[in-house]
Amino acid sequence: MKHGRFFSWAFLMFLTVVLLVSFQNAFTQESAEELYEAAMFKKESEGDLNGAIQILMRIVREFQGDKKIAGKAQLQIGMCYEKLGKEEAIKAYELVLKNFTDQPELVAAARSRLAALQMAEPIGPVIEKLPKVMEVPAFSPDGTKISGIDWSVPGQNISVYDYTTGKQTAITSFKWTGEDWGMTYFPCFSPDGKEVAYWCAGNSGSELRVSTLDGKSRTLYRRSEKGTIIPCDWLPDGSAIVVLKQEGAKSLTLGLVPAQGGDLKALRRLDHGRDHATHPSVSPDGRFIAFAEGPPGKHDIKVMTVNGEFVGNLTVHPAYDGEVCWSPDGKHIAFISNRHGGRALWGMEVKGGKPAGKPFMISSEMGNTGLLKWTSKGLACEMFVMTWDIFLMAVDPKTGEPLDEARMLGYTPTGNNCCPRWSPDGKYLAFASQKKDSLNRGYIVVISPEKEEAKEYPIPTDNYRGFLTDLSWVPDGSGLGFTMFVPNKSDGGQERILFRLNLETAKWETWPIPTRFGGTWGPDGTSFVFVKIDERDKNVGIAQWNPYTGEERIIYRVPQDVKPRIVTGGIKFSQDAKKLVFTLNSNFLFVLDLETGEVKSLGSDLRSATWSPNGELLLALNNREDGWPTTMSVLPTEGGERTEIKLGDKLPKDYHLMQPHWSPDGKQIVFGTRYSIHEALLLKNVIPKK
């Protein structure tokens, strides 16, 4: 009897152990699958390759008994490393071949990938398109991060994007207005990739700052006078930053600023300097600085020591050589040159700061691609093409409703035309244009849209920046005018100039104008109406100024209780000149009755409005918080519902809308579009292994 009881008890214990082991195995299997799914989510959804590798390694380590899932994890480790570094990927695939021979599918996949990685190096450069690009991009020395201007946060700020994690983090917090007002540009990574230097301007002046990747900043250098301080590179030990300090319209000082702050040590004054072409690069051993210097279009690559002692020229050629980058091993430089007729990538072997061979071409087709930094992963480049075009669309004069799809204006060359404006009689369109082969020169084009006959008027400056915002006709149709910043020859700074063209004589008149913003010609044809800022009490409004007599009067002053109080432009008179529309704080649309002084708000997400012929409607761009406008609407000037305009399918991909204008007969609207192609690239195998 006792024996039977003992047998029953023993059997019960055995069954319990079996069940516990089964449950444990099931739980273990479930946990491994969950970890694998978490790793795949990090890899494919979050782009966090390093995080995925850590989870996959845990699976291989903790679940060795489950050969199936451990083998899958080991293969995925190789695939993650393949994106981060070839040698680690090879080792990972070799472990698949060694430890998982019982899984032929995994072995075949690992062998295939391993064979591809172990193929001979390609003869020439290999281009890798990176998944993220930013404005004014800068790369970390290891090529895993990019920094640049981030327009997705309020203000003009710098963010850092990590290619391995897919995460983007803002490291500055400037605002457009208020106590935190400021703007920033020219990011530059430290040698360890943990800090970013940049130029900024705000209430405290023009500064060189450094921020950690979590946004903790310090000021290194502040200048009392106006002008930029461009950080270009760091000394390899992180002790100082190589900068270009603007001294005038055509002069830069190349120097060093200590990384912990202090005075600028001037090394060399560069006449005819331009920041992008001149951009200095420090040799990896920290002994030399390579830079470009020379008249526009005729730069040569030169070298000096970090103490400012001139070593000599690396290139001597009547063509342009610039945008120099030092290779990570210090044995070569890469640079852009047009010595064969077009922009091409060239290289040169260097030893002891001097040429060790003749320049050789690496790639003949660089087009709109510029060099940024030679990282350990490859030569980082930026490809950028900005296109401005003009479109016409027939509309119902009474409602603004489209009667046809938008079509491009029949004028060539396309791609560099902006700010279209109808003549007062509606017979002509005027706009600003630029030809690809005449950099820094612009034209005002007057065209008959029906006959497509155009006449070009060269703008009298060689500092045209490629874009106008306030082109307008004189009310009697006899001429046109606009404002534009040009270099001030007296102090090397910038000043805004009012240009006026007489169409009959093709003669230009110019005047310095006391404003930082644009405007429009007044109804009398002799005065210019523009945004007025009184620097003494910060009162902001709209002024009417006669450039011939110097007389000025305020026609509208923003009330003191409006915060922030910044008229940002978009000033246009109705056709009867009794009303004025303008934009406040970039997105608030207002109408001013010039007879009564009454001001009416029409919306908080509109800008760049234009009047219908009868003054009863306005056509305006719809602001977007996350970027430039892509739609426009018609709305009654007395208030009421707005109607979005359908533009059709003929506009370019990813376009932004600019500067609409309604024809005097009400039958057509014209507007500008802006779209860009912007890519970050890595050129690998720049110097093939011998």
SS3 annotation, 32-77? HHHHHHHHHHHHHCCCCHHHHHHHHHHHHHHCCCCHHHHHHHHHHH
Does one domain contain both 362 and 392? no
Compute the half-sphere exposure of residue 169: CA atoms within 13 Å on the CB side of its CA: 15
Number of domains in the chain: 3
Of the candidates 83, 117, 151, which is a domain's last residue? 117
Does one domain contain both 582 and 533? yes
Structural domain includes residue 122: no
Instruction: Give me 342's structure tokens.
Output: 């077009």
Q: Is the pLDDT at 649 greater than 90, yes or no?
A: no
Instruction: Give me 137's structure tokens.
Output: 């991009």
Does one domain contain both 306 and 401? no
Does one domain contain both 352 and 419? no
Does one domain contain both 475 and 574? yes
The predicted model gives 649-660 an average pLDDT of: 88
pLDDT at 26: 41
Of the candidates 78, 101, 117, which is a domain's last residue? 117
Structural domain includes residue 599: yes
Does one domain contain both 297 and 358? yes
Residue 199 to residue 230: CA distance in whole angstroms: 6
Regarding beta strands 617-622 and 369-375, do their DSSP bridges make them parallel or antiparallel, or are they unpaired? unpaired
Structural domain includes residue 245: no
For residue 514, give Cα distances in angstroms to 553, 580, 679. 13, 21, 39
Structural domain includes residue 217: no
Of the candidates 75, 95, 117, which is a domain's last residue? 117
Summarize pLDDT for 278-333 with one digit per residue, the tens: 889 999 999 999 999 988 778 999 999 999 999 999 999 999 999 999 999 999 99
Higher pLDDT, 204 or 401: 401
* Strand spans (E) along 203-264: 205-212, 217-223, 229-234, 240-248, 251-258
Does one domain contain both 364 and 389? no
Evaluate if pTM is beyond 0.85: no
For residue 262, give Cα distances in angstroms to 187, 220, 256, 269, 308. 19, 6, 10, 20, 18
Structural domain includes residue 406: yes
Structural domain includes residue 689: no
- Which percentage of the chain shows pLDDT scores above 90? 53
Does one domain contain both 359 and 393? no
pLDDT at 85: 62
- Residue 496, domain CATH: 2.120.10.30
The predicted model gives 110-125 an average pLDDT of: 74
Cis amide bond preceding 187, omega within 30: no
Structural domain includes residue 111: yes
- Residue 60, domain CATH: 1.25.40.10
Higher pLDDT, 538 or 487: 487
Does one domain contain both 464 and 538? yes
Range of the domain at 286: 276-368
* Strand spans (E) along 395-478: 407-408, 417-422, 429-433, 443-448, 453-458, 472-473
Q: Which of 257, 252, 270 is nearest to 188 (CA)?
A: 257
pLDDT at 5: 46
Three-class DSSP category at 389: strand
Yes or no: say if 264 and 230 are a contact pair by the CB < 8 Å rule.
no
Structural domain includes residue 315: yes
Does one domain contain both 305 and 436? no
At 47, is the pLDDT very low, low, confident or very high (cuts 50, 70, 90)? confident
Does one domain contain both 429 and 471? yes
Summarize pLDDT for 509-556 with one digit per residue, the tens: 999 987 777 899 999 999 999 888 765 545 578 899 999 999 999 888
Does one domain contain both 557 and 429? yes
